[in-house]
């Protein structure tokens, strides 16, 4: 009796069909039937019976299937455990990884990527620092950060990328994100379907630390949109949300942050409005072209690349 034959019993137990089980395991229907017959002959036991609902395992057949299923799961876990922390040379991947991140990516994206990374490379020590885009670019340039994750306004992208290129810094776009306005249902803006930045900046703002680069952009372009009236500035989003809910201020936030993180924390008294202006956020990866990536850094980028579809859709 071979392990793959026992695996056939597990598949039949789950699908209640020899045809479906054979299809899942990429063998012929006849091949699976013959294998089961050989097992029954070897054991001297009937392992399955055909009913009008399909195929069902007998009591002894189900016992073999349950035992095999548990064994295969443990075997797979053992293989994963043995192989997960290996680098490309088949050696245990150890070392350190320093990541400087923007607040938005630090809250919404990085935890998921780090979780997956640590499953594969549990021996790597990871140090995460949160700061604004300029601080991240400087850290990558000076070699303090192995990898940077920044959030910048789309209208600043060309200038920032050009300056970074001159400093041998490479910036790669990960995904773009829309800005939205948070307002209370008590606010006069609540009846709007959308809002412009000029309209938004007529009201006092409760500013999140994650919006620091956006506020800097608005202050530098006050002649276009008006001067931001910063009523509250806090790193605690719950404080800002509470103040916005009372109707005395409004807020700016990334739409991704709202959908994947903040929306879970607020009451129905806060609503979001899309901005009409052609302004969005670009979330980007930053690396130093002058320094070769460490194995730990390259492994992180591989994990990030594998997760792009589920993270950035």
Residue range 15-63, pLDDT digits in tens: 888 888 888 777 888 888 888 888 888 888 888 888 877 888 888 888 8
Please tell me the predicted confidence (pLDDT) of residue 227: 92
Domain 3-84 matching CATH 1.10.10.10: the answer reads yes
pLDDT, tens only, 81-100: 555 455 555 457 888 999 99
Q: Are 197 and 287 in contact (CB under 8 A)?
A: no
Please tell me the predicted confidence (pLDDT) of residue 128: 94
pLDDT value at 155 more than 60: yes
What are the extents of the domains in the chain? 3-84, 97-282
Which is higher by pLDDT, 309 or 102? 102
Q: Are 291 and 92 in contact (CB under 8 A)?
A: no
- What residues contact 26, with CB distance under 8 A and at least 6 apart? none
Nearest in space to 238 (alpha carbons), one of 260, 264, 271, 215: 264
Q: What is the DSSP letter of 229?
A: -
Please tell me the predicted confidence (pLDDT) of residue 282: 92
Please tell me the predicted confidence (pLDDT) of residue 82: 54
Q: What are phi and psi of 297, to 5 degrees?
A: -65, -45
Residue in the block written with tokens 């499953």: 119
Nearest in space to 21 (alpha carbons), one of 30, 13, 12: 12
Q: Is the pTM of this model over 0.75?
A: no
Share of the chain above pLDDT 70, in %: 92
Which is higher by pLDDT, 151 or 76? 151
Which of the residue ranges 39-48, 110-119, 295-304 would you say has the lowest mean pLDDT?
A: 39-48
By the 10 Å C-beta count (0-12 exposed, 13-18 middle, 19+ buried), 179 is classed as buried
Helix (H, G, I), strand (E, B) or coil at 246: coil
Q: Are 32 and 21 in contact (CB under 8 A)?
A: yes
Structure confidence at residue 263 as a pLDDT band (50, 70, 90): low
pLDDT (mean) for 195-216: 89
CATH code: domain 97-282 is 3.40.190.290
Please report which helix (H) or strand (E) contains residue 171, including its range: strand 169-184
Structure confidence at residue 242 as a pLDDT band (50, 70, 90): confident
């Amino acid at each position: 009796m071979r392990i793959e034959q026992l695996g056939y019993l597990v598949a039949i137990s789950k699908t209640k069909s020899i045809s479906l089980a054979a299809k899942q395991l990429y063998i012929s229907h006849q091949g699976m039937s013959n294998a089961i017959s050989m097992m029954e002959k070897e054991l001297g036991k009937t392992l399955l019976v055909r009913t009008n609902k399909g195929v069902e395992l007998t009591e002894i057949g189900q016992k073999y299937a349950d035992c095999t299923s548990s064994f295969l799961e443990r075997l797979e876990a053992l293989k994963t455990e043995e192989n997960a922390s290996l680098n490309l040379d088949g050696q245990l991947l150890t070392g350190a990884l320093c990541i400087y991140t923007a607040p938005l990516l630090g809250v919404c994206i990085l935890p998921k990527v780090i979780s997956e990374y640590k499953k594969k490379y549990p021996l790597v020590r990871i140090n995460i620092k949160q700061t604004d885009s300029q601080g991240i670019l400087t850290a990558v340039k000076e070699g303090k950060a192995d990898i940077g994750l920044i959030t910048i306004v789309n209208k600043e992208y060309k200038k920032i990328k050009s300056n970074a290129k001159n400093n041998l810094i490479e910036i790669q776009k990960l995904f773009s994100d829309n800005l939205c306005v948070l307002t209370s249902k008590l606010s006069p803006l609540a009846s709007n379907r959308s809002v412009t930045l000029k309209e938004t900046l007529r009201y006092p703002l409760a500013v999140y630390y994650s919006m620091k680069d956006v506020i800097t952009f608005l202050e530098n372009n006050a002649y276009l949109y008006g001067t931001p009236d910063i009523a509250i500035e806090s790193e605690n989003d719950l404080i800002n949300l509470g103040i916005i809910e009372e109707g005395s201020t409004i807020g700016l936030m990334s739409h991704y942050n709202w959908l994947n993180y903040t929306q879970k924390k607020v009451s129905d008294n806060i609503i979001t409005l899309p901005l009409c202006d052609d302004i969005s956020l670009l979330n980007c990866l930053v690396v130093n072209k002058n320094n070769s990536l460490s194995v730990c850094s390259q492994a992180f980028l591989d994990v990030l690349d594998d997760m792009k579809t589920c993270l950035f859709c």
